[in-house]
Homo-oligomer: A and B are copies of this chain.
């Protein structure tokens, strides 16, 4: 997808763009939160909206069942700005390692509708619905292809699995605990392109 009219790249055969190239429906539909964590991310990025290419921006809707969790994850290529539409969210992120004998600092906040919160690029963050009703949030991300890494699945549910002795040492626990964690793998169906 390439056109001289909307970005700074040279195109030998620029595409004639139409409004459809910059359009994607579907963020009115709540994601299906009937999964183990009770949340669902519906994303609009360059993979389903080609007009975003080179523009450095994308968007997502996040739905949370009561007590639903968007589990700790990172975006390897984007910062995120989130706004709550409905419900009450407990959100947080963990700063990067500060040095020897210091713990990673956790910053948290309880958000109500209309509250905005920022998750800087690459940091581990989460949102938990702490209300009795569904919650909804929207988020802007600073890349057309931000990526997402759900920590639980990437660490304990990869294909093939990470060696359990290795993980036992990483987490300083008995290997049986790692095996249990790995056995609890759940298909992360909470992320979809609309």
Contacts and interface: CB of A to CB of B under 8 A. Distances in A.
Nearest to A67: B169
A147 B85 contact: no
Total identical chains: 6
A138 B10 contact: no
Given A25-B115, A115-B24, A69 B169 contact: yes
B120 A6 contact: yes
Contacts of A83: 27, 44, 59, 61, 138
A34 interface: no
Interface string A16-34: 0111101111111100000
Interface string A157-169: 1111111001101
18 contacts: A17-B107, A19-B108, A22-B118, A23-B115, A23-B116, A27-B115, A44-B116, A49-B116, A56-B142, A69-B170, A71-B170, A74-B74, A94-B158, A96-B147, A100-B192, A103-B157, A123-B149, A126-B162
